[in-house]
Amino acid sequence: MKADLYEQNTPAHLWRVLPGSTPPEDVWAASIAEAAHVLPAAARAHGDDMRALLAMTLGEGRFGARHWEPSAAQRVYYAIKPAVPRRLSRMLKRAYGERRAASLELHWPVERRYVRFQFEVVRNLLRHMNRSSLPFVNFWPDGRRYAFVLTHDVETGDGQRFVPAVADLEAALGFRSSFNFVPERYRLDRGLMDELRARGFEVGVHGLRHDGKLFFDRQEFMRQAERINGYIHEFGAAGFRAPLTQRHPEWMQVLDIEYDSSFFDTDPYEPITGGTMSVWPYRLGHFIELPYTLAQDHTLTVILGESTPRLWFTKLDFLREVHGMALLCTHPDYLQSRRTWRIYNEFLRAMSGRTDHYHALPREVARWWRARSEADGLQDLPGGTLGEIVGVDGDMPAIAGAMPAARPNMTA
The pLDDT of residue 71: 75
Q: How much is the average pLDDT of 100-119? A: 87
The pLDDT of residue 88: 65
Full strand arrangement of the beta sheet holding 386-390 = 133-137, 386-390, 398-400
pLDDT digits (tens, 9 = 90+) for 394-412: 667 788 876 654 443 332 2
CA distance 360 to 150: 8
Q: How much is the average pLDDT of 295-299? A: 96
The pLDDT of residue 103: 62
Percentage of residues of the chain with pLDDT beyond 70: 89
Q: By the 8 A CB rule, do 329 and 261 touch?
A: yes
- Classify the phi-psi angles of 20: left when phi > 0, otherwise alpha if psi is within -120 to 50, otherwise beta: left
Q: From residue 220, how far is each of 215, 217, 227 by CA, in Å?
A: 8, 5, 11
Q: How much is the average pLDDT of 328-355? A: 98
Domain ranges of the chain: 147-369
pLDDT digits (tens, 9 = 90+) for 214-253: 999 999 999 999 999 999 999 999 999 999 999 999 999 9
pLDDT digits (tens, 9 = 90+) for 62-101: 999 888 887 776 776 666 666 667 666 666 666 666 666 6
Q: How much is the average pLDDT of 201-215? A: 96
Q: How much is the average pLDDT of 352-376? A: 97
pLDDT digits (tens, 9 = 90+) for 13-57: 999 999 999 999 999 999 999 999 999 999 999 999 999 999 999
Q: By the 8 A CB rule, do 347 and 312 touch?
A: yes
Q: Three-class SS of residue 221?
A: helix
The most distant pair of C-alpha atoms in the chain lies apart, rounded to whole Å, by 65
Q: What is the DSSP letter of 24?
A: P
Q: Could you please report the per-residue DSSP string of 87-100?
A: HHHHHHHHHHHHHH
The pLDDT of residue 400: 84
Q: Three-class SS of residue 287?
A: strand
Task: Give the number of other Cβ atoms within 10 Å of residue 374's Cβ.
Answer: 9
Q: Three-class SS of residue 331?
A: coil
Give the pTM: 0.93
The pLDDT of residue 292: 98
Q: What is the mean pLDDT of the chain?
A: 92
CATH superfamily of 147-369: Glycoside hydrolase/deacetylase (3.20.20.370)
Task: Give the number of other Cβ atoms within 10 Å of residue 402's Cβ.
Answer: 21
The pLDDT of residue 154: 98
Q: 412: buried, middle or exposed (CB in 10 Å: 19+, 13-18, 0-12)? A: middle
Task: Give residue 352's identity as a one-letter amino acid code.
Answer: S
The pLDDT of residue 92: 64
- Asked whether residue 122 carries a pLDDT value surpassing 50, the answer given is yes
Judge if the upstream peptide bond of residue 109 is cis by omega within 30 degrees of 0: yes
53's enclosing H/E stretch is helix 50-56
Task: Give the number of other Cβ atoms within 10 Å of residue 233's Cβ.
Answer: 11
